[in-house]
Amino acid sequence: MSKPIDLLVSTADGLYCPEGRFHIDPWRSVERAVITHAHSDHIIAGCASYACSAQGVGVLQERLGLSAAIVGWEYGEAVAMGSVRVSLHPAGHILGSAQVRVERVAQTAGVRGETWVFSGDYKDQPDSTCQRLEVVRCDVFISESTFGLPIYRWPGEQEEMARVSTWWKENAAQGRTSMLFAYSLGKAQRLLAGVDPSVGPIGVHGAVDRFNRIYRAAGVHLPLAVHAAGDEIRRLRGVGLVIAPPSARGSPWVRKFAGSGSGISAALASGWMSVRGARRRSAVDRGFIVSDHADWPGLLTVIAATGASRIGVTHGYVGPLVRWLTESGTDAFAVPTRYTGESGEEAEKAVESGPDDQTGQQSGDGNDGSAPGAISG
């Protein structure tokens, strides 16, 4: 059999397909970018053209602006790029998230046909706010490893959402506002879809509200959630659930919900909350284990199901997962990434974008993070 030639290679601009002349989730502005999803650690402004899933165009356009040249591909649609065929397949991470399948079809002298899949971020738990993960068979699978340690194991979806609703109900009975911090794109909408709206009124920070509108336009059912500004703050105070980005913690906007009543109970929804130390460092009253990434069993299950003979590992706890796979007899290798979770302590700063109720100004770009302190996982 002829020696394989890698379909995807690491470059200073990120992951590149030489035969298709495009980058996947590039780190710097490039000519052609194929984007797995719209979290800002997977996109960069200034590329000449972008391709993403048709379901993800709205959120990507919101991130990059109307001037960005974005084309949407239907899931499973094969597109010829150079000498390869490229298709996108559901990743189950957030609205429009996709895995990128790259297939070399024609076999020439010294080169064999081969299929590679880059996972982007993914989860195998069900989620009513996005299309469920599709396992894609391939020869080489490049998997994320945000939670690539055996300690990370998620509880059931309904169980954890019920805990959120119970916490909210108990707070309302005591006259406390329930302030739930979660990443504004993906996590916030999943929480909204999962909580019990009969408990009371729901409000959201402006950074969450702008993405709620896009989700609803895409046909995702979300309960009524008002933009928590102006008079709505008074209506929510002491009884409501308010979902806000982690960057809002300690802000004057949050303190408005305390009023003269029993104050605020703050909680954080993240996979990192499964570790006691991370809960303590987050300085909140409660932690809920809700993640938009696969846990350790999920990673291993998906990797095995692809049938791939080679496994690349990137974006998170790369070393531990590579070692585990190698010791289990799998040909595994590390793929460079800008984001790691291997220290278990260091964090990428999560800076949310979106208008607040005081200035109406944009406060920066967002980051879903890939280390415990990023508190979005």
pLDDT in tens, 190-246: 999 999 999 999 999 999 999 999 999 999 999 999 999 999 999 999 999 999 999
Residues 138-147 as b or e (16 or more Cβ within 10 Å = b)? bbbbbbbbbb
Q: How far is CA 33 from the centre of its chain?
A: 18
Q: Is the pLDDT reported for residue 55 higher than 60?
A: yes
Predicted confidence band of residue 110 (pLDDT cuts 50, 70, 90):
low
Mean pLDDT of 9-19: 96
Q: Which residue has the higher pLDDT, 338 or 79?
A: 79
Q: What is the reported pLDDT for 218?
A: 96
Q: Spell out the domain ranges in the chain.
A: 9-152+293-342, 157-288
Cα distance between residue 39 and residue 37, in whole Å: 6
Q: What is the reported pLDDT for 343?
A: 30
Q: Is the pLDDT reported for residue 281 higher than 90?
A: no
Q: What is the reported pLDDT for 337?
A: 86
Q: What is the reported pLDDT for 260?
A: 66
Q: How far is CA 150 from the centre of its chain?
A: 20
The DSSP annotation for 68-134 comes to S-EEEE-TT--EEETTEEEEEEE-SSSTT-EEEEEEE-S--TT---EEEEE--S---S--TTSPPP-
pLDDT in tens, 139-192: 999 999 999 999 999 999 999 999 999 999 999 999 999 999 999 999 999 999
Cα distance between residue 21 and residue 31, in whole Å: 9
Q: What is the reported pLDDT for 338?
A: 78
Mean pLDDT of 267-290: 89
Tell me which fold the domain 157-288 belongs to.
Rossmann fold (3.40.50)
Report pTM: 0.89
Q: Nearest-CA neighbor of 305 among 88, 152, 97, 136?
A: 136
In CATH, the number for domain 9-152+293-342 is 3.60.15.10
Q: What is the reported pLDDT for 358?
A: 33
Q: What is the reported pLDDT for 377?
A: 64
Helices (H) and strands (E) counted in the chain, each on its own, are 9, 19
Cα distance between residue 62 and residue 107, in whole Å: 40
Q: Which residue has the higher pLDDT, 346 or 81?
A: 81
